[in-house]
Amino acid sequence: MTQRTLALLPGDGIGPEITEATRVVLAAASEAFGLGLAFKTIDIGFAALEASGSTFPDAAFEAIRACDGIVLGPVSHNTYPARDKGGLNPSGELRKRLDLFANIRPARTRANIAPRAGVPLDMVIVRENTEGFYADRNMHSGPGEVMVTEDVSIAFRRITRHASMRIAREAFALAETRGKHVTAVHKANVMRVSDGLFLECCRSVAADHPDVSYDERIVDAMCAHLVRSPDQYDVIVTTNMFGDILSDLASELAGSLGLAASLNAGETSAMAQAQHGSAPDIAGQDIANPSSLIGSAAMLLTWMGQRENDAALLKAADAIDAALEAALTSPDLRTRDLGGSTGTQAFAAAVAAGLSQVSLAGA
């Protein structure tokens, strides 16, 4: 049996609780499908800051890079100290250093959970992850924001042909496996040069996929379309900040941000990451919903299975998704945010138990 090691990064707030819940499910999947998974817990965030003076020490990165996949718990980076005081954002650092250029964010209505949009959703937002209006990842040196005077600040936005082409290719490749429809979201009516380049790249890739329908939406209009008729969309491709905003909107319309999975993927590395934050106000109470990170871990196994051409990994990913769906179907098994009373670890145990049933059924 091939052994694979997954880096578990508990993070802050509810991160340790939902990361442990995800480990329980992954361990059950490894047992049921013979995956040979091992887990290496690596401290980041406030725990690492206290121990080493940095929220993302170099030793942690080297240990992470040696693993076969990454599961990142939520982090409270907004409350970290300044960067020169050790306050690095682990999520941003990993995306940059490992070139995790594609943030894949499904927005899918789950089980019997009513969508807030009034209709079921099943779309994926493909978000460029390495540039755009993100101060920590669009400059070679230094942040992409400057304070000209005490009353004037300027932010730089970087859009490159290289990054735009590869995220467009990722979106169209995904659409080929789904509904064969890609929508590019932009603001080229105002940012004619930068979003103009992004659209030029999307149109170029669209020409290579004649069987995939392609259209474009201005970002503000897209927000209205998502609220009014979200079922018309399949794969949405967009730049970093627009994708961050739209994916939260789409996931909440689908039912709940607490259910929203997410994968950060590159050519050689991938990282599972819940879409939601660290929710420190409910930390340590065993009431957090681990569904988002569990679903993200299933996406990680799919990425690994496709890369390794390993049927067991792909079956395990499908089984986790099916077991998660089954657990969410029962109102009695849901966590408090979804109207139930099941605790974080008990919910994970229910999903893990469901995996055995799915594996026996031949998932």
Could you say which of 43, 68, 96, 134 is catalytic?
134
- Beta-bridge mates of residue 183: 215, 236
Whole-Å CA distances, 295 to 184, 205, 289, 348: 25, 29, 11, 11
Could you say which of 99, 180, 187, 318 is catalytic?
187
Do residues 83 and 77 touch, judged by C-beta distance below 8 A?
A: no
- What is the rounded distance in angstroms from the CA atom of residue 335 to the CA atom of residue 331? 9
318 is catalytic: no
- What is the rounded distance in angstroms from the CA atom of residue 250 to the CA atom of residue 226? 7
- What is the rounded distance in angstroms from the CA atom of residue 242 to the CA atom of residue 68? 30
Do residues 244 and 210 touch, judged by C-beta distance below 8 A?
A: no
What does the block give as tokens for 27?
């361990």
Place of tokens 């894949």: 104
Q: Identify the burial level of 163 via C-beta atoms within 10 angstroms of its C-beta, where 0-12 means exposed, 13-18 middle and 19 or more buried.
A: buried
134 is catalytic: yes
Could you say which of 248, 286, 310, 318 is catalytic?
248
Distance of CA 168 to the CA centre of its chain: 17
Residue 215 has phi, psi (to 5 degrees) of -145, 175
Task: Give 288's Cβ-side CA count (13 Å radius).
Answer: 28
Could you say which of 43, 244, 315, 321 is catalytic?
244
Plot region of 298 (φ>0 → left; ψ -120 to 50 → alpha; else → beta): alpha
- What is the rounded distance in angstroms from the CA atom of residue 332 to the CA atom of residue 226? 31
Could you say which of 40, 85, 215, 220 is catalytic?
220
- What is the rounded distance in angstroms from the CA atom of residue 290 to the CA atom of residue 20? 9
187 is catalytic: yes
Classify residue 353 by its DSSP letter.
H
180 is catalytic: no
Catalytic residues: 134, 187, 220, 244, 248
